[in-house]
Chains A and B, each alone.
Chain A
Amino acid sequence: MSGRAGPAPRWLRPALALGLGLLALALVLAAQRDVGIARDETVYMGHGSKYARWWLDLVGGKDGTLSEQTITAHWGGRGMTDNNREHPPLMKTLFGLSELVLHDELGVAGEVTAYRAPTAAMFALLVVVVFLWASRLRGLAVGVIAALLTLCLPRAFFHAGLACFDAPIATLWVATLWAYWRGLSSRRWAVAAGVVWGLALATKHNAFLLPFAIAPHFVWVALRHHLPATGRSAGGAARALGRGLREHWPLVASLVVLGPLVLVALWPWLWFDTVAHLRDWLRFHLDHVHYNFEYLGRNWNAPPFPWHVALVTTLLTVPAATLAAAAVGAAVWRREGRAAAAAGRRDDGAAGVLLVLSVVVAMGPFFLGSTPIFGAEKHWAAAIPSLCIAAAVGVVWAARRAAAAARAHAPGLATRAAVARGLEPAAVAVVGLAIVGAAAIETGHAQPRALTHYNAIAGGAPGGADLGMNRQFWGEAARGVLPFLRTRAPAAGAPARPVYSHDASPAWGLYVRDRLLPPTLRDSGREEAGVASSQLALVVHERHFNRHDYMIWAAYRTVRPVFVLRVDGVPVVTVYERPATGR
């Protein structure tokens, strides 16, 4: 199914892929400039620079780089979080290299932008992969719309601008599935699948879930292809699976061997005591502390968590128009698949099943009630491109149906060749523009405080607040009060005014280096001591952070703030100033 207006020129598909990728990269890099520095980013930036320097030392032949002692000093240590060894290194290493090249060497990007560029590039790659996969399945129109809907996800777009792992793992998750799917019919892609899975493993531990999507799909494909020959019995099924494994042994070998090898190759901490270090990494995440997170009016920090978190949060954060189109597209796809099966035709159902498995496996752990729910949609972001592809299918189906109805109602249209040719593309353009436009406007509206954003079903940011949904995390929103704080900076020569910077404390130095704050508004420190020595104080609003308000009230002897940063009227950061008599 490659479009109905005749075959497209060969250059068009790669050109569109390139254009979509560059568009995504440019938009994310531009938008992230107004996004505050997330708490975790500061950790990844620092360690990324350290990792990058180690690789440069290795390439430069520096003595002792490969010694266990030097590797441990850069990549590991005795503590569970020493040198951030609880997270694999691929993206951190890229953050560090990017900063070295784009900022330190070439000077073409600011420090923070340079650190964040690899994530933006990864997100651009996701847009490209979605385009390539969807267009291969259902034609260029579906590909373009799916890619644009992936680009226009308010929360995903936000995470694409952070030096963190959530956007990259979503990319590598989808890319692994794509490469695997291509690998079912191509040896080159079979090899690529293992490599890409290895990159995913080297990005975030979510990648360990991918076999739970791939294995059932592989079994399904093997049975579908070989069961008619082997017979519908347990023995026949086993023989069918065996035939599938023999048929696709390069793909299986690539995933089983190359994937882990790539992980180990990219992570020097695994170059010795490999099993112990792998065990420590996974144990950290199996025993992960339950951060506080607000969901439907309640603060959650201990299991059992509500089973519906992934479902409800997705329904409230993905643009409503995209969700509606996805529902249409999923129904259409399923109906077409059934019709094709009934007619004995091969269809793209295998890809549809894989995309559904991607959603099920990415979201599945959150239905168990034991998986920490902090981070919300970013932890199952890999599931969402499946929705975008389904949405594009729905858009194109609805548009073609409308065009067909118009042609049938006005037969005169069909006799005019130019009109007949243009009717369907025009309908696709109108419906596509409406759905993509809605998602784009929503995404633009949500930035730069997209963690506060909720969709039309919720009623926007205020609706999300009414529902008691989490408003933000990582202290990123503090970026929005920096202009106000600058108005409270001491005059030249006057003593510094320490600021209780709350959750933005780890980012404070970077804000000062980036000249967003004068050095005279220095960070006063943490908790009660920080509040006690401060002249200004800010509270980043999450439900469990209310206690910071109360600490400040008690120290400043007032409950009255001097500034409240709002998103569509919803408070996200409050600033207090110590009254002249408050100390």
Chain B
Amino acid sequence: MKKLFLGLAPALALVAIAAWSTCRVVGAGAGVPDDRAWAAAAAVRAQHRPGDLIVFAPGWVDPVGRLHLGDLIPLEMAGRQDADRYGVIWELAVRGARAPETAGLRPGWQRGFAGVSVRRFERTPVEVVADLVEVAAAGPGRLRVGGQVARGPQVVLAEVGFTPRRCVQVVPAPGREIEVTFPAVTLGRELVGGVGLADVFTRRDVRTPIELVVRVGEQEVARARAGVDDGWVRWRGATTPGTADVTVVARALGGARARDRLVCFAAEARR
């Protein structure tokens, strides 16, 4: 009997693998919730309040999530610098995935809708006393710009590290720096922001990094460096509550070859 089994084993194993692989490939789509499941999950809009953050996981399912709930996601929320200012986060996830925004949080409420897991997280949000992107968007003429400018500053929705970022974009002359001063900014105890290189093609063609220096008055409070593969680099610095000029220096490192550095930054003054 053992001889028979050993003789048959390779053939049986191949047939079993063939059957397994067929079921796994053909049935793969059944493991991803369809529009009916998403439509049911989208019923959470009844509990959603303006200002609640909605995120989807895994990242590749994002277009489907936006198809069903995209009207609840303003551009400013989609292009956020981070999730810290949101007290309520709705996470809609499939295949057991989790969104990075909810890492370490425990859901206060959750429910499954035919494969779409909906979780509601609540936490104490940070209090933003000034948003430099909003300042730039509201009054670009109020900004003081120095240094060697190729383009900018302008408020854009840019691709940084393949994520959307609503940011102030500046392009220094090759190998040079730009200073953008935001006058009389209301400050809290910290200034928190992010910076990165926008546009995948200029990142590919020119591989030099950039550096960001943030000053409050004459004092440097933060410094960050972002290379072509670093994505959105977060930075933070301690500040004294009050009002002061905030200057952001964007530097294209690497000399004359450091052209087309689309420096994209955002910052919030937090209480």
Binding site for B on A (CB under 8 A): 290, 292, 299, 301-302, 319-321, 324-325, 328, 394-395, 397-399, 401-402, 404-406, 408-409, 427, 430-431, 434-435, 437-438, 441-442, 445, 455-456, 459-463, 465-466, 471, 541, 543-544, 546-547, 549-550, 553-554, 557-564, 566-571, 574
Contact B22 A569 (CB under 8 A): no
Contact B8 A405 (CB under 8 A): yes
CB-CB under 8 A from B8, the residues of chain A are 401-402, 405-406
The contact string, 1 if C-beta is below 8 Å from chain A, for chain B 75-115, is 10011000000000000001101000000000000000000
Partner of A398, one of B11, B75, B199: B11
Q: Is chain A's interface secondary structure helix, strand, loop, or mixed overall?
A: helix
List 13 A-B residue pairs with CB atoms under 8 Å apart, sorted by A's residue number. Answer: A290-B204, A324-B13, A398-B14, A402-B7, A408-B4, A431-B15, A438-B17, A442-B21, A544-B162, A544-B200, A558-B71, A558-B75, A560-B70
> A465 CA to B61 CA in the complex, in Å?
9
- B179 contacts partner chain A, Cβ-Cβ < 8 Å: no
Contact B159 A441 (CB under 8 A): no
Contact A566 B64 (CB under 8 A): yes
CB of A158, distance to nearest CB on chain B (Å): 15
Q: A409-B4, A569-B33 in contact; A442/B25 too (CB < 8 A)?
A: yes
Contact B64 A550 (CB under 8 A): no
> A569 CA to B62 CA in the complex, in Å?
12
- B58 contacts partner chain A, Cβ-Cβ < 8 Å: yes
> A325 CA to B18 CA in the complex, in Å?
10
Contact B159 A301 (CB under 8 A): no
Contact B158 A550 (CB under 8 A): yes
Q: A553-B164, A559-B78, A564-B64 in contact; A402/B25 too (CB < 8 A)?
A: no
Which B residue sits closest to A571, measured CB to CB?
B63
CB of A57, distance to nearest CB on chain B (Å): 40
Contact A445 B78 (CB under 8 A): no
CB of A65, distance to nearest CB on chain B (Å): 40
Contact B164 A550 (CB under 8 A): yes
Contact B11 A431 (CB under 8 A): yes
- B50 contacts partner chain A, Cβ-Cβ < 8 Å: no
Contact A438 B18 (CB under 8 A): yes
Contact B157 A460 (CB under 8 A): no
Known: A406-B7, A445-B25, A559-B75. 5 other contacts (CB 8 A): A402-B10, A445-B26, A460-B28, A546-B162, A546-B163
> A84 CA to B116 CA in the complex, in Å?
48
CB of A396, distance to nearest CB on chain B (Å): 10
> A541 CA to B203 CA in the complex, in Å?
19
Contact B159 A546 (CB under 8 A): yes
Contact B7 A401 (CB under 8 A): yes
Contact A543 B162 (CB under 8 A): yes
CB-CB under 8 A from A557, the residues of chain B are 75
Contact A554 B157 (CB under 8 A): yes
Sorted from nearest, which 9 A-B pairs have the closest CB atoms?
A405-B7, A460-B28, A569-B32, A560-B70, A568-B29, A456-B21, A547-B159, A438-B18, A398-B10
